[in-house]
Amino acid sequence: MTAYEASKEWQERFCQVPTKQVIEAKFCQDGPEIFRLGKKMPKASWPCIWRCLYSPKDDADHTWILQNIETVEDCGFVVYQSEQGFSLLGVDSYTKELVDFYFYNLYMERGLMWHKKAG
């Protein structure tokens, strides 16, 4: 398995939260609040251009993201956190290829070695 293939497998361990649901929930009277963490601002639309946000299913990934916000932003993501404490990653891209590339960069920065174990 290549590092890129491993990053695709790791990407599947994130929940996809449609941005439409986030926007609708935010503007409901009792909807949850979403907070942007870090310095990166979405380029074109709130919360991001891509049609969904990504939230890690694994607590270790969630913790790592919150402890490494600047690194996550450098990989292309906008980092959010819900008032319930869930981390959410927004992608400012229109293409699936760039989303995959961002996750590949994040996989490498995270220091995961799934591609080495599989080889």
pLDDT above 80 for 101: yes
Residues 6+ apart with CB under 8 A from 105: 74, 75, 76
Give CA angle at 109 (80, 98), nearest 5°.
Answer: 65
Average of pLDDT values for 3-8?
Answer: 91
Q: 36 near 79, Cβ under 8 Å? A: yes
pLDDT at residue number 69: 94
Helical (H) or strand (E) element with 99:
helix 96-110
Stated pTM of the model: 0.80
pLDDT, averaged across the chain: 82
Give the pLDDT band (50/70/90) at residue 16.
confident
